[in-house]
């Protein structure tokens, strides 16, 4: 009798699993949720003040972009929630009120392959108790529930963190913030290590402009405009220079022709440079290196990209 009862229970469980799997496969939410994506999963801000209102899209140039990679239209909803204990990051506390963060638009339709840039608006009450604190909220992206839909409704969603500080950012996450920013912005200086093929002749000026000689480039894969300020630092030991090369001496002049540059969306821009080496015996037969640093303007902490440039000079004839 006990064996029959156990067998019946197993059959019931198998049927339940089959029904659940069928619901999952038939659910438009399940299929489309696997086709939704965002450009990045986390936002980290600092230096914010109670009583102020901040737009992620307009002021920080960091829209929360939702992409529909599914094969059908998707009704999308983006909401704000408090983090669970497992979602809450160290040094942060849950946001006291989810109305501090608003999403525009919060409900929209995306056709196959379409994107939507949502703006996250953060407003902090003007109260002294909220100064010098670190808050976290969750941005939830999911398919919007369809009204009057029959049967079981299954809501699949995923969450992204947004962290902000009303004071200095915790030091432990500054590098994490840089990495998240760069991942989100889709902008690079490439290549990371650039080797000039031909040997440079002392006494002559060598121009790197992408025509006769290749050069370093800014590659912007995003849909945003960015501004850079370029420089060639004198100290380069922290940039991981190859040991066979030495930093260019002060007598060797490296000039960036356009120290400030506005980079257009979905573009590739050459960083035009000129290298001038004196016609002196000590500069022949050398392996030199310098670094081009591009500071990304308009962010609350320094965001820098760089490229290491290596070249050799001709032997003395």
pLDDT tens digits, residue range 207-225?
A: 998 888 899 999 998 888 8
Which pLDDT tens digit goes with each residue over 51-70? 989 988 877 778 888 999 88
Cα(208)–Cα(214) distance, integer angstroms: 6
Q: What is the pLDDT of residue 154?
A: 45
Picking from 299, 265, 59, the residue whose alpha carbon sits closest to that of residue 169 is 299
DSSP secondary structure letter of residue 221: -
Mean predicted lDDT score pLDDT of the chain: 81
**Tens digits of residue pLDDT in 244-277:** 999 999 999 999 999 999 999 999 999 999 999 9
Q: Identify the band that residue 31 occupies on the pLDDT scale cut at 50, 70 and 90.
A: very low
26 membership: H or E segment, kind and range: helix 2-26
- Name the most confidently modeled range: 8-12, 75-79, 163-167: 75-79
pLDDT for 23: 34
Higher pLDDT, 233 or 303: 233
pLDDT on residue 40: 59
| Separation in Å, CA 140 to CA 89, 152, 164, 188, 267 | 17, 21, 17, 29, 31
The CA–CA distances, whole Å, from 263 to 117, 180, 189, 294, 297 equal: 20, 20, 12, 12, 11
Residue 187, pLDDT score: 87
Number of alpha carbons in the 13 Å side-chain half-sphere of residue 72:
10
Least confident of 76-85, 176-185, 229-238: 176-185
Nearest to 220 by CA among 10, 104, 67, 61: 61
Site of tokens 């899209």: 57
Identical fold, 2-181 and 186-312: yes
Q: Which range, of 4-8, 80-84, 223-227, averages the lowest pLDDT?
A: 4-8
Domain spans in the chain, listed from the N-terminal domain onward: 2-181, 186-312
Topology annotation, domain 2-181: Immunoglobulin-like (2.60.40)
CA–CA separation, 214 vs 206, rounded Å? 11
Rg (CA), the chain: 27
**Which of 33-37, 89-93, 193-197, 294-298 is least confident?**
33-37
Tokens of 123: 């407003």
Structure tokens at 66: 């939702």
Between CA 57 and CA 119 the distance in angstroms is 5
Q: How confident is the model at residue 9 (pLDDT cuts 50, 70, 90)?
A: very low
Q: What is the pLDDT of residue 120?
A: 92
Residue 222's pLDDT is 86
Which band of pLDDT confidence, cut at 50, 70 and 90, is reported for residue 34?
low
Residue 82 has pLDDT above 50, yes or no: yes
Percent of the chain residues topping a pLDDT of 90: 44
At 171 the pLDDT is: 57
CATH of 186-312, one of 3.40.50.720, 3.40.50.300, 2.60.40.10, 3.40.190.10: 2.60.40.10
According to DSSP, the β-strands at 303-312 and 253-256 are unpaired
The pLDDT, as a whole number, for residue 41 is 57
Residue 266 is predicted with a pLDDT of 92
pLDDT tens digit string along 136-176? Answer: 999 999 887 665 545 444 445 678 889 888 876 565 555 56
**Which neighbouring-strand residues pair with 38?**
66
Place of tokens 């980290």: 44
């Amino acid at each position: 009798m006990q064996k029959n009862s156990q067998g019946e229970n197993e059959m019931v469980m198998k049927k339940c699993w089959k029904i659940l799997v069928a619901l999952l496969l038939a659910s438009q939410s399940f299929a489309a949720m696997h086709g939704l994506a965002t450009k990045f999963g986390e936002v980290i801000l600092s230096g914010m003040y109670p009583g102020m209102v901040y737009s992620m899209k307009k002021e920080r140039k960091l829209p929360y972009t939702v992409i529909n990679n599914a094969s059908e239209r998707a009704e999308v909803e983006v909401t704000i929630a408090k983090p669970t204990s497992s979602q809450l990051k160290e040094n942060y506390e849950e946001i006291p009120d989810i109305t501090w963060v608003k999403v525009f638009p919060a409900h929209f339709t995306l056709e196959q392959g379409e994107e939507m840039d949502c703006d996250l608006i953060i407003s902090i009450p003007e109260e002294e108790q909220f100064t010098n604190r670190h808050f976290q909220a969750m941005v939830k992206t999911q398919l919007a529930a369809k009204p009057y839909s029959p049967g079981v409704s299954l809501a699949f969603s995923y969450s992204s963190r947004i962290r902000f500080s009303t004071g200095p950012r915790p030091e432990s996450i500054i590098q994490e913030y840089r990495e998240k920013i760069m991942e989100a912005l889709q902008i690079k200086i490439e290549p990371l290590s650039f080797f000039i093929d031909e040997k440079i002749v002392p006494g002559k000026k060598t121009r790197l402009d992408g025509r006769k000689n290749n050069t370093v480039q800014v590659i912007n894969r995003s849909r945003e405009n960015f501004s850079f300020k370029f420089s060639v630092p004198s100290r380069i030991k922290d940039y991981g220079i190859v040991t066979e090369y030495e930093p260019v001496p002060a007598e060797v002049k490296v000039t960036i022709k356009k120290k400030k540059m506005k980079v257009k969306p979905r573009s590739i821009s050459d960083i035009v440079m000129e290298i001038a080496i004196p016609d002196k015996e000590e500069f022949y037969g050398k392996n030199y290196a310098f670094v081009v640093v591009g500071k990304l303007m308009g962010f609350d902490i320094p965001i820098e990209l760089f490229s290491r440039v290596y070249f050799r000079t001709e032997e003395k004839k």
